[in-house]
Structure 1
Amino acid sequence: MLVALFAFAPRAQAAAPPTFTVGWSVYAGWNPYFYMQKSGILKKWADKYGVVIKVQRFDYAASLDSFVAKNIDACTMTNMEALDMPAAAGVDSTAIVMGDYSNGNDAVLTRNGLTFDKLSGHKVMLVQKTVSEYLLERGMVMNGQQAKLNTLKLINTSDSDIAPAFLNNKGNEAVVTWKPLVSQILEDKSVHSIFDSSKIPGEILDLLVVQTSVLQRPDGSGERFAKAITGAWYETMSQMAGGPQQLAALKGSAAASSDTLESYKEQLKTTALFATPKAATEFTTSPTLKQKMELVRQFCFTHGLLGKGIKSVDDVSIAYPDGSVQGRKDRVRLRFDAKYMQAAMQGKL
């Protein structure tokens, strides 16, 4: 009997489905991952492809650190962070879902009537090396204040602390963050938005990024994971768009950040969701994506965000679905892959 048990144990262990972990942080366009798991949609798709998928919540910066350390297999992040965190660290990663672009969710907020021409010498709270810093600079440049960029005093603050830290100290006069934190801060009537991401449409993109090494696993489990998570995402998007499950999907996503349904709906108004695989595929394969990424990669290089020893913007390259590359072809670190979205569009998942 003992011999039989020992003989069976390896087979039982080998039969266990591979497990993948997806990191996400609070944001209107990423909250659906919480609902996707709670509703059973994710398990249904994971079971279909013979994998187990876990969804784990992080503070935003911590999620990126975990992804760079390869402690998680996939992570929600913006296009800029995909470039200046994993890619800059030499981690080859692939964006497989084009979720949305921020269309007013990210904002520069100030007190005491401060405008861009008066920000010189003031402290600005934000999560450094993220799209918040990018948005701030784009606002300064577009308002003719580029020469004063070096006079700003940036205060690095985590997304979990930034709202209370700003609201509880009236001496803090400027902050850059994203919804729902923006909405919470704007409840203070002394605070006003002086610039937001609707002024730069398509530049702050929200993605699901996977370790390229995971997608390339010889046993094919990474491919199955990518198909499962993509299928689950678009089923979730279809529920949020309408039908009998819409209310549950919206409430479930709002619950991810302890928001009311009304608050979450307000956030979605400034989130340009690529709600269908067709819309996501079309944007990912369009020249527009390359144009927006050119702005972002130049920003990252200028600010030294592409890693130590990087002497050219072309040393950390980006590959696109059509095979084109921005930068050196032997230095690709970030890839945009539309094939899973295309499969969803064609009903082949």
Structure 2
Amino acid sequence: MTPWRLPQKSAAACWLRLAVICSILFCSLTQNSFAASAPKFVIGWSVYAGWNPFFYMAKSGILRRWADKYGIQIEVQRFDYAASLDAFVAKNIDACTMTNMEALDMPAASGVDSTAIILGDYSDGNDAVLTRSGLKLNQLSGKHVMLVQKTVSEYLLERALVLNGLQDEASRLKLVNTSDSDIAGAFLGNHSNQVVVTWKPLVSQILDQDKGVANIFDSSKIPGEIMDLLMVRTEVLHRQDGSGVKFAKAVTGAWYEAMAQMSGTGPGHERALNESAAASGDTPASYSEQLKTTHLFYTPKAATDFNDSAAFKQKMDLVRQFCFHHNLLGEGTQSVDDVAILYPDGSIQGKKDRVRFRFDSSYMHLAGQGKL
């Protein structure tokens, strides 16, 4: 009796199919193994024209590609702004988008040593003081002012008063702490609220929906003072396995790839704008309007030139003096120098043994040199 056998061609097809299945299983197991073993980093971001590109970087795959290059994982999480700062200080996330002021009076003041690795932009009109009923700056005494307290909104308001010789009026204002997720609706929904200080896209939303509201002061009057940064806990950058440095290189490389697209010098410009707009529920036209008042540093050179300049330190000194005078540098702080700042050239504002806030432009320089 002749034993039954598969035809030769059928047997070859079966072996080929088996090989393909084994290959797929091997790749899947390899990917799962990588996902389980690769160091993971989490970036927190909140809605703002200069930070929305982080949403685009994640959705488009740009961030994943750069993370894969360095053998790590990077996750991007969205927060309300104040909540993102709390998560960073609590060490629940590794990096966070924040302004220079909040970097000083939140993590640094809390004793969390942090490093700015990307200087993304400065607000050039995005932050604004808005009023109803034709109120001017010299008429705000005794008025309730809605804002997110202990943020750049409070800084902007005081700078507006100081620059107009009204600094003594600051103590007569009645500040109403309101979260960024609620502030536009609360202001628009109650016309007894006459003053609000916030940032775009909320500023644009308020001005579009209530033509009786006017912008009486904005950050274009204090260029370069409200900076937007990516902060990383310094201990993360110094991880012994070197993964922190890989993270800094990957996220910086991804950022400037996205910036090239945002500026129109790289492919994918339209998609970059559309998806960055979608991050905050804006139309591309509305988002483009916001970018007009956002001084984005589209290239590493533009960012490092500003970051490494003498004027940069002068602007930071204004911010740290404000924080000290408003008791934002932590309990028991006796001097503005008790929370020190380290600059890229090695100079320090404050006590050398109290450095908690560092500016490191080295990764941006590497990006500019094409070495990432």
Query: Which range, TM-score by smaller chain?
Result: over 0.9
| Residue of structure 2 aligned with 1:335, choices 355, 358, 372 | 358
Which residue identity lines up with residue 312 of structure 2 in the other structure?
Answer: L
The aligned runs of 1:114-193 (5 Å cut-off) are 114-187=135-208, 188-193=210-215
| Residue of structure 2 aligned with 1:289, choices 307, 312, 319 | 312
Structure label with greater radius of gyration? 2
State the 1:13 CA deviation. 8.3
- Work out the CA distance in 1 between the residues paired with 2:158 and 2:260: 36
The C-alpha deviation readout for 1:1-33, integer Å capped at 9, x for no partner, is xxxxxxx9xxx5897100000000000000000
State the 1:116 CA deviation. 1.1
- Work out the CA distance in 2 between the residues paired with 1:258 and 1:13: 34
The aligned runs of 1:222-301 (5 Å cut-off) are 222-242=244-264, 243-301=266-324
Paired residue for 1:33?
A: 54
Paired residue for 1:3?
A: none
- Work out the CA distance in 1 between the residues paired with 2:261 and 2:328: 38
The C-alpha deviation readout for 1:194-219, integer Å capped at 9, x for no partner, is 00000000000000000000000000
The C-alpha deviation readout for 1:293-335, integer Å capped at 9, x for no partner, is 0000000000000000000000000000110000000000000
The C-alpha deviation readout for 1:273-300, integer Å capped at 9, x for no partner, is 0110011111111111101000000000
1:318 maps onto 2:330 in alignment: no
Which residue identity lines up with residue 79 of structure 1 in the other structure?
Answer: N
Which residue identity lines up with residue 279 of structure 1 in the other structure?
Answer: A
Which residue identity lines up with residue 96 of structure 2 in the other structure?
Answer: C
Query: TM-score, normalized by length of structure 2?
Result: 0.90
- Work out the CA distance in 2 between the residues paired with 1:301 and 1:147: 17
The C-alpha deviation readout for 1:24-73, integer Å capped at 9, x for no partner, is 00000000000000000000000000000000000000000000000000
CA gap of 1:154–1:42, structure 2 versus 1, over 3 A, is same
Give the SS at the match of 1:206: strand
Paired residue for 1:5?
A: none
Residue 35 of structure 2 contacts residue 73 of structure 2 at CA under 8 Å; is this kept in 1? no
Q: Which runs of 4+ in 1 moved over 3 A?
A: 12-15
CA gap of 1:99–1:14, structure 2 versus 1, over 3 A, is closer
Provide structure 1 residue ranges, at least 5 long, that are not aligned to the other structure: 1-7
| Residue of structure 2 aligned with 1:96, choices 94, 117, 120 | 117
Residue 128 of structure 2 contacts residue 219 of structure 2 at CA under 8 Å; is this kept in 1? yes
Which residue identity lines up with residue 341 of structure 2 in the other structure?
Answer: I
- Work out the CA distance in 2 between the residues paired with 1:332 and 1:289: 17
State the 1:249 CA deviation. 0.4
- Work out the CA distance in 2 between the residues paired with 1:280 and 1:171: 42
- Work out the CA distance in 1 between the residues paired with 2:282 and 2:35: 42
- Work out the CA distance in 2 between the residues paired with 1:42 and 1:49: 11
Paired residue for 2:73?
A: 52
State the 1:244 CA deviation. 3.5
RMSD: 1.3
- Work out the CA distance in 2 between the residues paired with 1:314 and 1:225: 31
Paired residue for 1:307?
A: 330
Which residue identity lines up with residue 249 of structure 2 in the other structure?
Answer: K
The C-alpha deviation readout for 1:98-150, integer Å capped at 9, x for no partner, is 00000000000000111111100000000000000000000011111111110
Which residue identity lines up with residue 237 of structure 2 in the other structure?
Answer: L
CA gap of 1:239–1:308, structure 2 versus 1, over 3 A, is same
CA gap of 1:260–1:15, structure 2 versus 1, over 3 A, is closer
Residue 156 of structure 2 contacts residue 218 of structure 2 at CA under 8 Å; is this kept in 1? yes
Paired residue for 1:4?
A: none
- Work out the CA distance in 2 between the residues paired with 1:171 and 1:210: 41
- Work out the CA distance in 1 between the residues paired with 2:36 and 2:175: 51
- Work out the CA distance in 1 between the residues paired with 2:55 and 2:174: 35
- Work out the CA distance in 1 between the residues paired with 2:101 and 2:173: 21
Paired residue for 2:16?
A: none
